[in-house]
Structure 1
Amino acid sequence: MARASSKPPRGTSSPDPMPERIDPCLAVLVDKPPKGPDWAFEVKWDGYRLAVHVEPDRVRIITRGGYDWTPRFPSIAAEARQLGYETLILDGEAVVLDDQGRSDFGMLQRALGKRPSLHDPREIIFFAFDLLYVDGWDLRRLPLRERRWLLDPIVAGRAGAIRLSEEVQADGDEFFRVACEHGLEGIIAKHIEKPYRPGRGEWWQKITCKRRDSFVIVGFEPSTVPGHLGRLLLAARQGNDLVYVGGCGTGWSHDLSRELRKLLEGMATKTPAVALKRKGAVFVEPVLVAEVEYRAWTDDGKLRHASFKGIREREDEAGVFDISKTVEGPTPLD
């Protein structure tokens, strides 16, 4: 496939400075896929949202919250340098695939973890789904269909650490049904005529088979099995505060239960991070974030049928669920 043209996109006349960082476009959660020929669909990847910046003298891999995580993704950084462009910004998702070809967030976290793991960082794949800048030209003002036209020849057909997130124009309801049948997290719908805009907007929509969000771990309840974890106590952000949103008592193995219990006991505190009194609970410093899959919210603002999927340090605040800034969860709590 031919390389994307080095000529400036339509409507530009001189080179644009390369942005130091671009705030990502985020999808709004909706109940059903949109209809019409102006919508294209992709698989919803279950990983870390990243921007890959290829610069003349370096490659930088930036998280959604603006952190430089380049050292954590050496294979992606090395391959980005081989794409053949002096400057480039790719938007996409880093994932680890299971033996069924599905992205698995827990496997990704183990590959990135400091502890020994069966998963190697070289297993991490970056699925590129947007091109924001290339060789002196800022593409964000172009409609998605033109950005994808320029992206395809850069990464299409690659089978290494950087790959193309395939886009399909199909019936959204049917695509969503098939995605859920195959155990995927969901799908993303994107309006092909819209430019790239930071923040959440109706031009990108996500439809999930189950809901998935990040919550701060503020404590735990011990299991009746000595040395094991019974239940994580979770909180969401409400502006600058944390509010209790319920617990999670499933999703970990026997060994992980013991490991999590030991980890959290080392972070115990007498001062809860949320207004909560619970007999037998052990409160911890709010420094860890749990990835949780759940079905819905209860009327009183608690997670329903929550299941643990992974854990990370609270160094990248952007992904923590914020009740006060989203319509996806419960009514804001007083």
Structure 2
Amino acid sequence: MTRPRRPILPLLDESHSTLQSRPIRKRDPDQPSLPFDPMPSRVEPCLALLKPTVPVGPDWLYEVKLDGYRLAIHIEPKGVRIITRGGHDWTHRFPTIAAAARKLGVRTAILDGEAVVLDDHGRSDFGALQRSLGGRGGRRVSAESILVAFDLLYLDGHDLTGTELDVRRHLLEDLIPDGDDQTIRISEEIDLPAEELLEHACHRHLEGIIAKHRDRPYRSGRTGDWLKIKCVQSESFMIVGYEQSVSAGGGIGSLLLAGRRGLDWIYVGSVGTGFTASDAEYLKKTLDRLKTSRPVVPLKGKRLVLVQPTLIAEIEFRGWTDDGNLRHASYKGLREVQDNAAVFDMNGTMRS
């Protein structure tokens, strides 16, 4: 169940007059019709801080945690740009999202959201998104992906990053068309008691819950304004080798994984499930080109092939063993440098 949409209210100051920001610099000649705030070329994203429990209280709103690529959609007078979390232009990789953004009927806007591919149950599927893009390093465009928008940072001459989330959400709801068949959709609020949210999400095999403070402005980085509470842990690890399969004629039986601890690499175990036959074929072909006699993690074994630390894998797991290995690990796909992939830090720094 979702909250009903409320009417969009004007931005008001304490005297209840309409709030208009003053120009902070001379008008941009490339944007001559812009009356108020110059449009930023890029906004560093707000990131969610990992927490074990869902925060409780009326100051929080809750959304489903998505599993895709974080994108900023820049709608500009000269066209649309799609920027990854790492700052790379991927407009050409998501042409259907770009086309849908051009039809939103605004002259300038910046949407914050997640590109996802949905499975038959309406859940985001990271592996399906990766396949739609042709895998790591692939050059395919993703026609299957949609954008789930969850924030609005700029709209028709107004910089909204200093405005509280509730107002930004109302403006976003007014901008995005209704309908489950839209290429750009809004991330709906979940209207359930906070104590039931995580159980509800996990029962439906979702990634987890995102909790956001309603009254906070949009602040870049991991400030604690946004929190993530996961059903199943999922992090990025470096592939440092593979174990040859006994039954598959020297193919991949499992991938050997490592995390970071400062400047050092720490072995965290292996993963032997989650990849398809085509995944295994691509991984073996790629990893065989990265073989090294000077591995970053000193592992020994007759069937082990050790490689240079180059490929970053997204791994789902249920926890940690007493000796520091991943428990019940499953391979989900490879992360891209353009997606600002960050290897799991054993000191506790986690990516969003």
What TM-score comes out, normalization by structure 2 length?
0.84
Residue 184 of structure 2 aligns with an amino acid whose one-letter code is: I
2:229 to 185, 207, 232: 207
Map of 2:29 onto structure 1: none
Structure 1 contact 251–309 (Cα < 8 Å) conserved = yes
Give CA deviations for 1:185-233 in whole Å, capped at 9, x if unaligned: 1111111011111111222111111011111212111111213212211
Deviation (angstroms), 1:46? 0.9
2:72 to 45, 51, 62: 51
Structure 2 contact 292–306 (Cα < 8 Å) conserved = yes
Q: Tell me how far apart the structure 1 counterparts of residues 194 and 123 of structure 2 sit (CA, whole Å).
A: 19
Distance 1:143 1:276, change over 3 A: same
Distance 1:62 1:106, change over 3 A: same
Give CA deviations for 1:156-175 in whole Å, capped at 9, x if unaligned: 40532211111134312212
Q: Tell me how far apart the structure 1 counterparts of residues 238 and 337 of structure 2 sit (CA, whole Å).
A: 8
| Counterpart secondary structure, 1:132 | strand
User: Where does 1:192-271 land on structure 2 (aligned, <5 Å)?
Assistant: 192-225=214-247, 226-239=249-262, 242-271=265-294
Count of matched residue positions in the alignment of Structure 1 and Structure 2: 325
Structure 2 contact 70–85 (Cα < 8 Å) conserved = yes
1:136 to 157, 163, 169: 157
| Counterpart secondary structure, 2:121 | coil
Distance 1:315 1:246, change over 3 A: farther
Distance 1:297 1:16, change over 3 A: farther
Q: Tell me how far apart the structure 2 counterparts of residues 172 and 82 of structure 1 sit (CA, whole Å).
A: 36
| Counterpart secondary structure, 1:285 | coil
1:296 to 299, 319, 340: 319
Map of 2:30 onto structure 1: none
2:343 to 311, 320, 330: 320
Residue 290 of structure 1 aligns with an amino acid whose one-letter code is: A
Residue 190 of structure 1 aligns with an amino acid whose one-letter code is: K
Map of 1:75 onto structure 2: 96
- 2:42 is the counterpart of 1:29: no
Distance 1:207 1:219, change over 3 A: same
Residue 13 of structure 1 aligns with an amino acid whose one-letter code is: R
| Counterpart secondary structure, 2:280 | helix
Deviation (angstroms), 1:5? 8.1
Structure 2 contact 153–160 (Cα < 8 Å) conserved = yes
| Counterpart secondary structure, 2:97 | helix
Q: Which runs of 5+ in 1 are unaligned?
A: 329-334
Q: Tell me how far apart the structure 2 counterparts of residues 242 and 81 of structure 1 sit (CA, whole Å).
A: 45
Structure 1 contact 4–151 (Cα < 8 Å) conserved = no
Distance 1:227 1:256, change over 3 A: farther
1:113 to 134, 138, 144: 134
Percent identity for Structure 1 against Structure 2: 52
Residue 307 of structure 1 aligns with an amino acid whose one-letter code is: S
Map of 2:212 onto structure 1: 190
Q: Tell me how far apart the structure 2 counterparts of residues 305 and 2 of structure 1 sit (CA, whole Å).
A: 44
Structure 1 contact 2–153 (Cα < 8 Å) conserved = no
Map of 1:173 onto structure 2: 195
- 2:21 is the counterpart of 1:12: yes
Residue 133 of structure 2 aligns with an amino acid whose one-letter code is: L
Give CA deviations for 1:274-308 in whole Å, capped at 9, x if unaligned: 23232232122322211100112345543222110
Q: Tell me how far apart the structure 2 counterparts of residues 113 and 5 of structure 1 sit (CA, whole Å).
A: 44
Structure 1 contact 42–187 (Cα < 8 Å) conserved = yes
Deviation (angstroms), 1:238? 4.0
1:311 to 323, 328, 334: 334
Q: Which runs of 5+ in 2 are unaligned?
A: 13-17, 24-35
Higher mean C-alpha displacement, 11-20 vs 199-208:
11-20
Structure 2 contact 236–341 (Cα < 8 Å) conserved = no
Give CA deviations for 1:257-279 in whole Å, capped at 9, x if unaligned: 3442233223222232x232322
Flag the structure with larger Rg: 2
Map of 1:96 onto structure 2: 117
Structure 2 contact 64–190 (Cα < 8 Å) conserved = no
Distance 1:12 1:313, change over 3 A: closer
Structure 2 contact 291–307 (Cα < 8 Å) conserved = yes
Map of 2:60 onto structure 1: 39
Q: Tell me how far apart the structure 2 counterparts of residues 130 and 310 of structure 1 sit (CA, whole Å).
A: 27
Residue 242 of structure 2 aligns with an amino acid whose one-letter code is: F
Q: Which has the higher strand share?
A: 1
| Counterpart secondary structure, 2:331 | strand
Structure 1 contact 222–229 (Cα < 8 Å) conserved = yes
Deviation (angstroms), 1:241? 5.0
Give CA deviations for 1:38-76 in whole Å, capped at 9, x if unaligned: 111101111111111111112111111111111110000
